[in-house]
Structure 1
Amino acid sequence: MKIGIPKEIKNNENRVGMTPAGVFELIKHKHTVYVQSTAGEGSGFFDADYEAVGATILPTIEDVYDAAEMIVKVKEPIAEEYPLVKPNQLLFTYFHFASSEELTLAMLKSESVCIAYETVEDPDGSLPLLTPMSEVAGRMAIQQGAKYLEKPIKGKGILLGGVPGVSPGKVLILGAGVVGIQAAKMAAGLGAHVTILDVNMKRLRYVNDIMPPHVITGFSNEYNIRKHIQTHDLIVGGVLIKGAKAPKLITRDMLKDMHPGAVIVDVAVDQGGCIETTHATTHEDPTFIIDDVVHYCVANMPGAVPYTSTVALTNVTLPYILKLANKGWEQACEEDPGLAKGLNIVHGKCVYEEINEAFGWEVSC
């Protein structure tokens, strides 16, 4: 199969769809790999690295889309890429369709086949291709939150870990999934007081078992959320509903109950965010302030640590890429039900129920 790896053109997205090590494996299986010139530089991988393992370097993104049967990316195509996608072309990347009707309509119009990393499942229902980026984003949420609590950037002026004689900061985490667990680990490691809320008691029991005593669990409901936001300095939104829009757990009217200079990091922004006031920001302009509350809502957080993120992503995507390349998408999905759950759009039809529900469409849209 002819596989294309274009350069990511989303704002400050420095990751790349595959490492040279991943390309090496595809070449070993007799596939042809086209890499756009400088696609890997942001992650520390250079054209010479890809050429050394047998990739063909192409000068433009148009050349890569034109040559490839399968496109392997990190982030969803943006408007400039929509016309480049061809009928029957296979796209394998993060899409998060439920948060963008424009993107969804564009891919439907293209009559391509879109397999979304974020809805591929393991037999136990976990999301193997979303997990590593959720791990990165969860850990980064605390790094970024700690930074934006500093007074020069309009935060409360709180040091999360405190110092002798001064109480540590308080972190509220919404969701005890991968993002929440990783955020809690980082915050607890800094010495912060951590509260993590979820509706799944099994997850809360797990958190209680593995975390130190200064990480406290609670059941997630509106009453508890309203109570905790009044006293916490940093709120991390890490709620995920597979393939669907995130629920709005903090509404605009709740912001008035938060301390001026408190910080919200909404990791769920890719799925529309779990804070009503969320809108996607970029690494170039990452924050905005509403009612004196600092919002950090960067939609591609792991893009700020591209080497770590690209290697972690290739580790988990490569086995699926090999299946798709070796067998074609139809046979690969027929043999692997978990991969088949990644099918979101097929030849002009939206085949993922949660996306149809997000836009009020019939299943056969």
Structure 2
Amino acid sequence: MANRFILNETSYHGKGAIKEIPNEIKARGFKKAFVASDPDLIKFGVTKKVTDLLDEAGIEYVIYSNIQPNPTIENVQTGVKAYAEAGADVIVAIGGGSSMDTSKAIGIINTNPEFADVRSLEGASETTKPCTPILAVPTTAGTAAEVTINYVITDPENKRKFVCCDPHDIPVVAFVDPDMMSSMPAGLTAATGMDALTHAIEGYITAGAWELSDMFHIKAIQLIAKNLRAAVKNDPVGREQMALAQYIAGMGFSNVGLGVDHAMAHTLSAYYGMPHGKACATLLPTVMAYNADATGEKYRDIAAAFDVEGAYTKPLEEVRELAVAAVKQLGEDVGIQMSLKGVVPMEDIDALSADAAKDACAPGNPKPASIEDIKAMFLSLM
């Protein structure tokens, strides 16, 4: 079977990358932008860094800000209506995964209106037309939504998050500018950075992994292991390297899938509003330990990326434990509490585990995880 690999048409990286936005808009013949960004980014002037450039270039735009941290069906449907009323011809998505995911869903429904209920987009969507062109400007170093074919929408009515996978939704241009991430507080930097690490590790060991995706994932793990602590301290080099690392991880996992860590994290966010990055980080060492015996020699590479002594000489079982310990230590060093105590009520465990087992990410796990397996992992963290 052939392996498919999909990436952006174009991406810009490094300080000042956003200055290319007006050039790309004009070069592609767009006339009016629909700027999708969350209220906090607007409040604190982050979105303005881009709209100032649009103003200077004489490019017309409207701003849409009905975006929540875990975007809902209602956010998307309101956005579809707002886009139609705006008369725009391009979406400029500014923010983290929430802004990107909302923009992808809006763009898909705009060109594929038969999916206006939003719920029908779940899973491997059967859309037929590329979405409205999206220019993506990440403000967090974690989700890599600017280079993936995935997005996640929350269904509050049914208390669940659902994953949509659609090659038609990938942004045409990404602008990965560390200056757009400089205002991230330490806690958000840590959580999104650990989310990127989860992408890289899950993508590296997932059932669909192969040589091309492995190349991206192991490099991302190396960069995150070396730079996340510095990024949390707001070191400019650390921030720039994390911006690159999360994008590289996205190039990989978007094409090969994830695993049960993300499946469990999605349920935690849907049930309790737990930030996605924190959920992934909290679960990661436990899920890594569960998967260890189904990963061949790959934990040696992960250990080596963390500069673990003896990564290629010590017994494999020992190295696997050391790799898990190194990941857990990084999480603790950047302030992630590796516990679900006080988060998950015992009466929710059965339903939570059952929903995680049904999540679209679960089949990518390197070994099967039953409802009982997932339940045991949740309980071990409580």
TM (norm. structure 2) is 0.32
Q: Which has the larger radius of gyration?
A: 1
Higher normalized helix content (fraction of residues): 2
Instruction: Work out which structure has the larger RCO, using CA pairs closer than 8 Å and 6 or more positions apart in sequence.
Output: 1
Higher normalized strand content (fraction of residues): 1
